[in-house]
Amino acid sequence: MAKKGDKRKIVGLVSEESGNRTYYTVKNTQNTTDKLRLKKYDPVLRKHVWYTETKKNLGRNEVKGRK
């Protein structure tokens, strides 16, 4: 997917209604500077809702540099 030095970034998609982060996608940050907003299926609510872009990790599981 996204390689080191690539312009494409991995982003998570969060449901606007349930708040669950179900989907991940890759986005070219040079061509698409705005946040993504897609209508996708939410398995928790069992209907199609709007999903908006967030960071992939949201501050969790970040790799820390070595000393």
- Percentage of the chain exceeding pLDDT 90: 36
Structural domains of the chain, count: 1
Residue 36 in domain = yes
pLDDT score at 1? 60
Query: Can you spell out the DSSP letters for 35-51?
Result: PPEEEEEETTTTEEEEE
For residue 45, pLDDT beyond 90: yes
Q: CATH number of the domain that 33 lies in?
A: 2.20.28.120
Residue 3 in domain = no
Closest C-alpha among 57, 50, 47 to residue 24: 57
pLDDT score at 52? 93
The domain of 22 spans 8-55
Residue 39 in domain = yes
pLDDT score at 3? 67
Query: Both tokens of residue 29?
Result: 């940050």
Residue 65 in domain = no
CB of 18 closer than 8 Å to CB of 44: yes
pTM, full prediction: 0.73
CB of 9 closer than 8 Å to CB of 26: yes
pLDDT score at 61? 45
